[in-house]
């Protein structure tokens, strides 16, 4: 029996259907995978764009926050500058103001706009101008050299619009940005005219007190020396206790004493070496007339300058020592040594070969005055008995004289 062709075709189609369906499924799967990969790539791009958008958003937010903080800071600074009593200012490297607070008008009479057009010469008095120029040049040199920049503080005298001047305390610094580039000079100027006036009054009071002390000391010196000797001479002469020669000697001593005070207090530049030389010249003839030999050993070229009061007290001690030796010790020879030693001490000694003092000398008026003078200038006075004679020595600590520059 011959198969029916239709049946054969139907059977073949039945056998081919699973294979075709499987192929079709594979194709669909591949297409689906391709679609998923494409979608995955699109998602990755979207995610990257989203991340960038978020970063931009964060950056914009931070920038806005920074701008807001800067705005608040500027508002705070502007409020401070507008209301501060002190003058707040900024300046560029050319020495020109870039900002001046309104309080400058109260300080100097100029408006901020006027001050910003002014130069250093317009602002400062000559002495303050020189100081400002020196400091400004130093700051610029340190800036160019890359050195650490400190804070400048100066007391400066400013010119005012009405022709007067005002003293100020100026503090300035040089802020540097994070990238080490220069920004500007920032400064504050404060009125210290009241303080300066108080200091001037105090200096005047101290000067007046010093003059009073000088007058009192001068009167005391005249009383202890010249006046005392003159009064004693008058009293002894009244009772016929003085010969003509003794009267002449006393009068010469009085004149020498008066000359010593006037010469010492009347010359501010008088040094100890010259003062002793002058005293030696005036008294040497009188001493030689009494038959007393006096040897002078003076080495004071390195001695630093002494204050007038110290100088007078040193000469007074020398004078008293010499007069006491001549009047009371009956010496034939007196040795006077004065020297400045490298340890910073001034040492003066008057040594005689007379009858000498007792081991414990009685402190009469003359010796007590010498001790007081030595104590007043911070010195040490010593009386040492010799065989024969007496040695009177003064030791005075002094600051070493400055070494001359080579």
pLDDT digits (tens, 9 = 90+) for 55-83: 666 566 666 666 666 555 555 555 555 55
The pTM of the full predicted model, rounded to 2 decimals, is: 0.45
Q: Distance (Å, rounded) from C-alpha 29 to C-alpha 23?
A: 10
C-alpha 265 chain-centroid distance: 31
Mention every residue, 6+ apart, whose C-beta is less than 8 A from residue 393: 347, 348, 349, 350, 381, 382, 384
pLDDT (0 to 100) of residue 335: 93
Which residue numbers in the chain have pLDDT < 50?
13, 16-20, 404-406
pLDDT digits (tens, 9 = 90+) for 186-242: 888 999 988 888 888 888 888 888 777 767 766 666 666 666 666 666 766 666 766
> Alpha carbon of 43 to those of 49, 52, 308: distances in Å?
10, 14, 100
Q: Distance (Å, rounded) from C-alpha 321 to C-alpha 336?
A: 10
Letter string b/e over residues 349-365, b meaning 16 or more CB atoms within 10 A of that residue's CB: bbbbbbebbeeeeeeee
Which tokens sit at 100? 């001046």
Q: Residue 375 is inside which H or E element, if any?
A: helix 365-376
pLDDT (0 to 100) of residue 131: 93
Cα 122-127-133 angle, rounded to 5 deg: 65
Which tokens sit at 104? 């400058």
| Beta strands at 345-352 and 333-340: parallel, antiparallel or unpaired | antiparallel
Q: Distance (Å, rounded) from C-alpha 351 to C-alpha 384?
A: 9
Question: By three-state DSSP, how is residue 57 classified?
Answer: helix
> Alpha carbon of 163 to those of 108, 158, 166, 170, 193: distances in Å?
10, 10, 10, 21, 15
Q: How many CB atoms lie within 10 A of CB 315?
A: 22
Q: Distance (Å, rounded) from C-alpha 69 to C-alpha 398?
A: 63
Query: 397: which DSSP letter?
Result: E
Query: 384: which DSSP letter?
Result: E
C-alpha 71 chain-centroid distance: 40
For 126, how many CA atoms within 13 A lie in the half-sphere containing its CB? 0
C-alpha 129 chain-centroid distance: 19
Q: Distance (Å, rounded) from C-alpha 254 to C-alpha 232?
A: 11
**Cis bond leading into 388, ω under 30°?**
yes
> Alpha carbon of 210 to those of 203, 213, 309: distances in Å?
10, 5, 11
Q: H-type helices in 228-271, by residue range?
A: 228-238, 244-266
Asked if residue 187 lies in contact with residue 91, where contact means CB atoms within 8 angstroms, the answer is yes
pLDDT (0 to 100) of residue 109: 95
Strand ranges (E), 104-191? 152-159, 165-173, 185-191
């Amino acid at each position: 029996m011959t198969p029916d062709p239709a049946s054969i075709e139907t059977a073949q189609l039945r056998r081919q259907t699973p294979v075709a369906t499987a192929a079709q499924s594979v194709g669909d799967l591949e297409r689906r995978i391709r679609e998923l990969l494409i979608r995955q790539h699109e998602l990755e791009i979207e995610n990257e764009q989203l991340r960038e958008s978020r970063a931009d958003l964060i950056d914009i937010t931070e920038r806005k926050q920074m701008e807001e903080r800067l705005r608040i800071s500027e508002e705070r600074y502007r409020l401070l500058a507008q209301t501060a009593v002190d003058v707040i200012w900024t300046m560029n490297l050319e020495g020109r103001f870039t900002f001046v607070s309104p309080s400058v008008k109260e300080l100097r009479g100029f408006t901020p706009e006027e001050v910003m057009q002014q130069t250093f010469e317009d602002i400062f008095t000559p002495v303050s101008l020189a100081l400002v120029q020196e400091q400004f040049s130093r700051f610029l040199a340190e800036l160019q050299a890359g050195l650490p920049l400190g804070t400048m503080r100066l007391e400066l005298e400013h010119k005012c619009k009405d022709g007067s001047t005002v003293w100020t305390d100026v503090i300035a610094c040089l802020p540097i940005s994070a990238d080490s580039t220069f920004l500007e000079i920032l400064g504050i100027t404060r009125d210290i005219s009241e303080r300066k006036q108080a200091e001037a009054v105090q200096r005047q009071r101290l000067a007046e007190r010093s003059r009073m002390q000088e007058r009192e000391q001068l009167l005391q010196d005249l009383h202890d020396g010249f006046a005392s000797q003159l009064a004693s001479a008058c009293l002894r002469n009244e009772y016929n206790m003085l010969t003509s020669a003794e009267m002449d000697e006393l009068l010469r001593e009085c004149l020498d004493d008066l000359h010593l005070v006037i010469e010492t207090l009347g010359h501010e530049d008088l040094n100890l070496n010259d003062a002793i030389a002058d005293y030696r010249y005036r008294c040497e003839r009188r001493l030689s007339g009494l038959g007393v030999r006096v040897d002078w050993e003076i080495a004071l070229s390195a001695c630093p300058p002494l204050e007038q009061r110290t100088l007078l007290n040193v000469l007074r001690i020398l004078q008293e020592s010499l007069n006491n030796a001549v009047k009371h010790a009956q010496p034939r020879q007196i040795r006077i040594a004065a020297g400045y030693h490298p340890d910073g001490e001034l040492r003066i000694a008057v040594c005689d070969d007379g009858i000498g003092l007792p081991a414990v000398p009685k402190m009469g008026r003359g010796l007590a005055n010498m001790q007081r003078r030595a104590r007043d200038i911070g010195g040490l006075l010593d009386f040492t008995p010799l065989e024969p004679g007496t040695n009177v020595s003064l030791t005075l600590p002094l600051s070493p004289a400055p070494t001359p520059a080579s």
